[in-house]
Amino acid sequence: MSRNEFSCDCNVIHQEAVDEVLQKMPNEDTFNHLADLFKLIGDTTRCRILFALDQSEMCVCDLANVLNMTKSSISHQLAVLRRSGVVKCRKSGKEVYYTLDDEHIVKLFEIGLVHINHKG
Amino acid sequence: MSRNEFSCDCNVIHQEAVDEVLQKMPNEDTFNHLADLFKLIGDTTRCRILFALDQSEMCVCDLANVLNMTKSSISHQLAVLRRSGVVKCRKSGKEVYYTLDDEHIVKLFEIGLVHINHKG
DNA sequence: TTGACAGTTGAATAATTATTCATATATAAT
DNA sequence: ATTATATATGAATAATTATTCAACTGTCAA
């Protein structure tokens, strides 16, 4: 199936290395999920929302004030984050309160921040 | 400056929480760099290239075969990764060999993989 | 020197997506 | 009931970007 139809336009130069790496490569789904996760936090607005929610539970208006953006923008991004399962919300009166619902996000941020300090 | 011109279209509901979070928020540049880092690895092709290079030094043709994509595609993405300083290359004869040049990338992948296994 | 191969790169195309705008819903207050 | 507020959401717009295609450079071999 996947290995029988070739899209690459060149020959293998180091067959051993290629075979060895091919064996260790995770499947397509894994890479798609991995890329989706990083894509999710690869946006300034979502980064800031998640960072804020890591400090404190917040409603949409508070987030809009912290980020200095419209409620609509924030709400759209919160919907994305909610669909991906990294934040959860509870309703109380007119307001909807959001919290971070994923332990790994903060760890990724920590390593990311170390990375930034190491480079320019 | 940044706090005097308001783009948000609502009032603060919880002033204390907002102030506290605002104090702890990193600056704009930090979030931009952080988002750029995650954007960099938030692409299936680049994920696979980086994963492959973590296993073994490889030339462009080998990578094209491992990923089953054209040399041109791979080369374009390698250029992106090179500009961001996460891979480096050495030339030998006709070939150009790429290696991973960033300790943090692998750590981010590890956490990402744990994340995937925890969720769907 | 000619041809083949490895790799790069600019331009074009296609796809994705963040924000805005307008509107809709639900809750609270008057 | 009516009005104001908090939030959500669909559609449109604008910006970003991954891949393809074509052309180019540099290296090796004959």
pLDDT tens string A89-101: 999 999 999 999 9
Contact between A46 and B39 under an 8 Å Cβ cutoff? The reply is no
Nearest to A18 among B36, B43, B62 (CB): B62
Q: Which CATH number is associated with domain A28-118?
A: 1.10.10.10
A45: which 2 tokens?
């607005």
3-state SS track over B38-67: HHHCCCHHHHHHHHHHHHCCEEHHHHHHHH
Domain B44-118 belongs to what topology?
Answer: Arc Repressor Mutant, subunit A (1.10.10)
Tens of each residue's pLDDT in chain B, 120 residues: 233 356 777 887 889 999 999 999 999 999 999 999 999 999 999 999 999 999 999 999 999 999 999 999 999 999 999 999 999 999 999 999 999 999 999 999 999 999 999 875
**Protein A118 CA to nucleic acid C16 C1', in Å?**
31
Q: What is the pLDDT of residue A118?
A: 85
Amino acid of residue A95:
E
CB contact under 8 A, B102 and A115: yes
Give the torsion through C-alpha atoms of B63, B65, B66, B67, to 10 deg: 80
Strand C: list positions under 7 Å from protein Cβ.
Answer: 5-11, 17-22, 26-28
CB atoms near residue A2 (< 10 Å): 7
pLDDT tens string A13-34: 899 999 999 999 999 999 999 9
- C1' nearest to CA of B45: which nucleotide? D18
CB contact under 8 A, B41 and A62: no
Distance CA A110, CA A85 (A): 20
Confidence of residue A8 (pLDDT cuts 50, 70, 90): confident
Higher pLDDT among residues A8 and A47, named by residue? A47
CB contact under 8 A, A24 and B64: no
B72 touches strand D (CB under 7 A): yes
The string of DSSP letters for chain B reads -TTTS----S--S-HHHHHHHHHH---HHHHHHHHHHHHHT-SHHHHHHHHHHHH--EEHHHHHHHHT--HHHHHHHHHHHHHTTSEEEEEETTEEEEEE--HHHHHHHHHHHHHHHH--
Distance CA B42, CA B109 (A): 11
Distance CA B91, CA A5 (A): 30
Amino acid of residue B35:
A
Q: What is the mean pLDDT of chain A?
A: 93
